[in-house]
Amino acid sequence: MNDKIKILIDKIQNAQSIAISGHKNPDGDSLCSALALLKIIELNFNKTATVIYDGNVPRDLDYIPLRKEAIFHTHIPEDAKYDLYILVDYGTRIHLGGAEKYVMDADYVIEFDHHVNNDFVGDLIFSDSDKASATQLIYDVSCQAQFIMNQDVIDLITLGIITDTGNFKFVRKGDVLRDTAQLIDRGANIPHLVNLLNNKDKKTVLVESETVSKTEFFMRGRLAIAMIKQPDYKKLDGRGELVLSLLGQIHGVEFVVLLKEQKENQIGISIRSKHIPINHIAESLGGGGHLCAAGAVVIDDLINVKTKIINAFKGM
Ligand SMILES: [Mn+2]
C-alpha cells in the first residue's frame, strides 16, 4: 500500500469529526463522490461524516442513494469545526461556496479531484485528470486500500462515471470501462442507474429546448452561443446539459457556449468543444475545468459577455 493511502487511513482513523464537500451547485459526480465517501467511511471506520453542499442539487439527482444525507451549508452550525475535511470533485477554491469557511477552519484537508488544478487546497492530494470522474478516482484508491464497499457505494461510484462521461460518450481512457466492468460485476445495473436520473421537471426541459431554438451561430457555424435570461434561468436545473448536448449534435458545430444570466450582471458560462481545448478561455474569464468542457462565472451583462466570448474564439 502506498504512503498516501496509509496517511489517508490514519487521518480518517484518528479524526473525531469529518466533513465532506464537492463543488457548489453539485453535479452527479460531485454529489455521488461525497455520498460514496460518506458510506465508505461508515463501513470501514464505523464513523459518521457530514456531507455539506452549497447551491442547488438538480432534480435528476433526487433518487440517487443516500441523497438525503447531503446537508445544505446554512443548516450547519456557524461554529462547527472539523478535524478532517475531505474535498471531492471541487475544481478550485472559488467553487467551494458556503463550505469554504469550514474547509479553511479544518485541521487537515484531503482532496480527491480530477479537475485540472494548480492551486490545491488540501494537505493530502489525490489528483488525476486522466480519471473520467472523481468517483472513479475514489474507487481506485478504495480498491488499493481494500475498503469494503456496499451496493450504495458501487451505485454511487457508477453514477459519478455515468454523469461525468455523459452516459459514456466522453470516455477517453480504457481504464474507466475496465473499472465500470468491475462495478457491473459487483452489482451496478447501468439501465437502472441511467433511468434513476431521468427525473427532470417538465419546465426545465421546455426551457432548455426553447433556449436551443434561439441559438445564434458564429464563425460560419462552428461556434454556437445560446443564452438563458434571468426569469428562465430559475426554471433551469443544473447546467443546461441538454442545451449543450443538443447543440453539439449539429453538423459543423465545433464549440458550444451557454450563457446563463444567474442574477443581474452575473453570467454563468459553460463551454464545450468537440476536439480543440477551450479551458484557456474559461481560465481567462476566471474559471476553469477540463480541456474540452469548462466554465466560468463573470460579473458583467449578458451582451458584453457574449462579445467577450466571440472575441475569445477568434482565430480558433
Ligand atoms: Mn467530476
Q: Domain locations in the chain?
A: 3-196, 202-312
| DSSP secondary structure letter of residue 88 | E
How many angstroms separate the alpha carbon of residue 156 from the centre of ligand 1? 13
Q: Which distant-in-sequence residues (6+ apart) come within 8 Å of 109 by Cβ?
A: 84, 85, 86, 87, 103, 121, 122, 123, 124
Q: Output the CA 90–ligand 1 centroid distance in Å.
A: 8
pLDDT at 114: 94
Q: Which CATH class is domain 3-196?
A: alpha beta
d(CA 219, ligand 1 centre) in Å: 30
Distance 74 CA to ligand 1 centre (A): 24
Its CATH class, for the domain covering 202-312, is alpha beta
Distance 220 CA to ligand 1 centre (A): 32
Angle, helix 134-144 to helix 174-185, in steps of 10 degrees: 60
DSSP 191-226: HHHHHHT----HHHHHHHHHHHHT-EEEGGGTEEEE
Ligand 1 mean position, distance from CA 33 (Å): 9
Rounded to the nearest 5 degrees, what angle is found at the Cα of 306, between the Cα atoms of 303 and 308?
Answer: 110
Enter the C-alpha cell of residue 97: 461556496
**Tens digit of each residue's pLDDT (9 = 90 or more) over 281-302:** 999 999 988 899 999 999 999 9
Phi, psi of 227 (to 5 degrees): -130, 140
The string of pLDDT tens digits covering residues 23-74 is 999 999 999 999 999 999 999 999 999 999 999 999 999 999 999 999 999 9
Order of strands, sheet of 108-113, starting from the edge strand that comes earlier in the sequence: 70-72, 50-53, 18-21, 84-88, 108-113, 124-127
Sign of CA dihedral 52, 54, 59, 61: negative
Concatenating the DSSP letter of every residue in 13-58 gives HH-SSEEEE--SS--HHHHHHHHHHHHHHHHHH----EEEE-S---
Cα–ligand 1 centroid distance for 132 (angstroms): 7
Whole-number pLDDT of residue 209: 95
At residue 154, the 3 state secondary structure works out as helix
Question: Which regions in the chain score pLDDT beneath 70?
Answer: none
User: How many angstroms separate the alpha carbon of residue 165 from the centre of ligand 1?
Assistant: 9
Q: What secondary structure letter does DSSP report for 252?
A: T
Q: How far is residue 52's CA from residue 213's CA, in Å, rounded to a whole number? A: 37
Q: Decide: residue 299, CB within 10 A, 0-12 exposed, 13-18 middle, 19+ buried.
A: exposed
Residue 136 Cα to ligand 1 middle (Å): 9
CA of residue 288 to ligand 1 center, whole Å: 13
What SS3 state is found at 291?
A: coil
CA of 89 to the centre of ligand 1 (A): 5
What is the dihedral sign for C-alpha 285, 209, 256, 242? positive
> What is the Cα–Cα distance from 7 to 141, expressed in whole angstroms?
12
Start-to-end CA distance of the chain, whole Å, equals 45
Q: How far is the CA of 161 from the centre of ligand 1 (A)?
A: 8
Ligand 1 center to 1 CA (angstroms)? 25
Amino acid making up residue 115: H
Q: How far is the CA of 119 from the centre of ligand 1 (A)?
A: 17
Residue 91 confidence (pLDDT): 87
Q: Taking the model in full, what pTM does it have?
A: 0.86
How many angstroms does the Cα of residue 290 sit away from the middle of ligand 1? 9
Q: What is the whole-number distance in angstroms between the Cα of residue 164 and the centre of ligand 1?
A: 6
Q: Separation of 79 CA from ligand 1 center, angstroms?
A: 29
Distance 78 CA to ligand 1 centre (A): 28
Query: What 8-state DSSP symbol labels residue 162?
Result: H
- CA 67 to ligand 1 centroid distance, Å: 17
Question: What is the CA(70)–ligand 1 centre distance, in A?
Answer: 17
**How far is ligand 1, taken at its centre, from the CA of residue 15, in Å?**
26
